[in-house]
Amino acid sequence: MRIIAGSARGRRFDAPAGMDTRPTLDRVKESLFGILQFDIPGSSVLDLFSGSGNLGLEAASRGAKRVICNDRSRECAEQIQKNAALLGLQDRVKVYCLDYAACIDRLRYEGTCFDFVFLDAPYADGTAAMAAEKIFSSGILKEGGRVIVEHAKSLPPAVGSVLADMTDRRNYGACAISVYKRKKAVAPEERD
């Protein structure tokens, strides 16, 4: 795998051994960051199902000021730490090794908020939709912040949060990306 643009452009890094991770394809990653490119510099990013750190490291290379990469696999978390150091991004990348729900709870407790959250969860089990709903309800996504979900084209996530507004969906062969933006919360007195 490689970093496409930014301070670590063209540099290669490793994925954990085995088939437990499914790194985002370069063409998908390039398109995704083409959509976000002007909003990434200075932003805060959460890569919740990080695997190798592919998306979070790309964001850090492109100027995100703070990136949290999380993966429940210790092997993945250790590889992300190594990759961040290899790419010279360790000052902007923090790594957690938690279940996604525990990670969201910890970030909420810490009062951490994000401009972008990347979700590349297992495709078939509905985890992405559950994680997205928890993100929207937890308060860790800034108003106007975006949740980007990679999923099978045939299995788009059904995100039911009233704060989520799907703004974009793009297909890349068998996979797709859906972008959800956090709406402004409406005060009870404004609802009438």
* Angle separating helix axes 100-110 and 127-138, nearest 10 degrees: 10
What is the chain's alpha carbon radius of gyration, rounded to the nearest angstrom? Answer: 16
Q: List the 66-70 sheet strands across, edge first.
A: 93-96, 66-70, 44-47, 114-119, 141-152, 175-182, 164-172
Q: Would you say 182 and 141 are in contact if contact means Cβ atoms under 8 Å apart?
A: yes
pLDDT digits (tens, 9 = 90+) for 154-187: 888 888 888 898 999 999 988 999 999 998 765 5
pLDDT of residue 191: 45
pTM of the model: 0.91
What is the model's pLDDT at position 103?
98
Q: What is the pLDDT of residues 57-106, one digit of tens each?
A: 999 999 999 999 999 999 999 999 999 999 999 999 999 999 999 999 99
Domain 26-182, what fold? Rossmann fold (3.40.50)
Contact at 8 Å (CB) between 188 and 175? no
CA distance to 103, 125, 126, per residue, from 98 (Å): 6, 19, 18
Q: Per-residue pLDDT for 56 more than 80?
A: yes
Q: Which two tokens stand for residue 134?
A: 């928890």
Q: How many helices (DSSP H) and strands (DSSP E) are in the chain?
A: 5, 7
Q: Across all residues in the chain, what is the average pLDDT?
A: 90
Rounded to the nearest angstrom, the gap between the alpha carbon of residue 183 and the centroid of all alpha carbons in its chain is 18
Band of pLDDT at residue 125, cut at 50, 70 and 90: confident
Taking the domains of the chain in order of start, what are their residue ranges?
Answer: 26-182
